[in-house]
Amino acid sequence: MLYANLLCDRNDHTLRRTSAYDALDRSEKSAMSYFFGLTIAKLLAERYVDTPWLTHFEQFERHHTIIPPSSPSRPDLVGATRGTTQRWVLAEAKGRTVLPKLAPPRPILPGGNSPKSKREELFKKAKAQLGQVTDIDGASPHLCFASAVFSERAIANATVQVEWRDPEPEDEQRNDDSRIRIHLPLDDLLRVYYQPFIDLLGADGSNTTLETVGRQTFRTLALNDVNVSIGVDTNVVTAFDDSRFSDIPSILAGIETLPAYGQQDREERVDIVFVDPFDEINKDNDDLDLGTYIGSDGIMVRVGTRWSNGTMNEDLYDRVVHT
């Protein structure tokens, strides 16, 4: 999905949509934008707000106590910050093909409100969804952020941008009995987060290999069809197998990883700029190869030559021709 629909422009180090994306119909673009929104929110949450464990809120609705159970609106993602003491984070991830900054010009009737842009309306809705949850396992959310991934203009190979906001819920939202309170132990969040990776490696691990990178050892599986390898820290695998989920943050706490930038301004819009994150990670670590990323969640991702800067700089058609 990412490979086919996105390219990295080496001239200005920006992420752009490919011609394959531009050729999709409206419903297909909506689906792609939805996944872009989730993916980028997850990646940036680790880097900017030190939150590696972020997953779908809806996964906890069936087996966890949610009060009130019939609330129609809730955020997309719930997660926890890194370290030995976790704090809860909520995120609403939006994806749009085009999201103009300015409202369309139209007359304002006497006594009427000023017209709002689609962007402002989008964040207003996101704010309402984030404000629905006031209590997670007995604690108020530490951070609630809305993330939107979009392009400002409907042009070919448009630059992809992301805007984050950390809106303050209104006072009446905080005290309204209709807001959501959820019993969600950290154990359950971590179990749900790591389960897909453990399933991917397989119960017996017969198709995996052990690989040591720096001070970490990973159980790694090569996904040859997509030229990607996925690894999980063996200490995380052992803790998962022993159902010691809440031990995982402490296991990973002492491992040096790419530091988070810290919480940014409450409202910020940036182009997604790539300065080759692998180079930045690797510059002080000779144990890491180019094309390898190790997250603070103990997950390693390694991409092959199909994902090289030179290849990803090309539009999808040109990549296929040159392969």
* pLDDT tens per residue, range 238-286: 999 999 999 999 999 877 654 444 433 334 433 344 333 334 444 444 4
CA atoms within 13 A on the CB side of 189: 29
pLDDT at 262: 40
pLDDT of residue 268: 41
pLDDT at 265: 39
For residues 238 and 298, give the distance between their C-alpha atoms in angstroms, rounded to a whole number: 12
Residue in the block written with tokens 């996105």: 6
pLDDT tens column, 158-195? 889 888 888 665 554 444 566 788 889 999 999 999 99
Written as six digits, the tokens of 288 are: 């890491």
* Cα radius of gyration (the chain): 21
CB atoms closer than 10 angstroms to residue 29: 19
Q: Can you list the residues of the chain whose pLDDT is less than 50?
A: 172-175, 258-288
Expressed in angstroms, the distance from the first to the final Cα of the chain is 18
**Alpha carbons 251 and 248: distance in angstroms, whole number:** 5
CA 151 to CA 276: how far, in whole Å? 21
Domain-by-domain residue ranges, the chain?
2-184, 188-265+277-322
How confident is the model at residue 71, as a pLDDT?
A: 60
Burial class of 79 by CB neighbour count within 10 A (0 to 12, 13 to 18, 19+): buried
Helix ranges (DSSP H) in 209-265: 234-241, 248-253
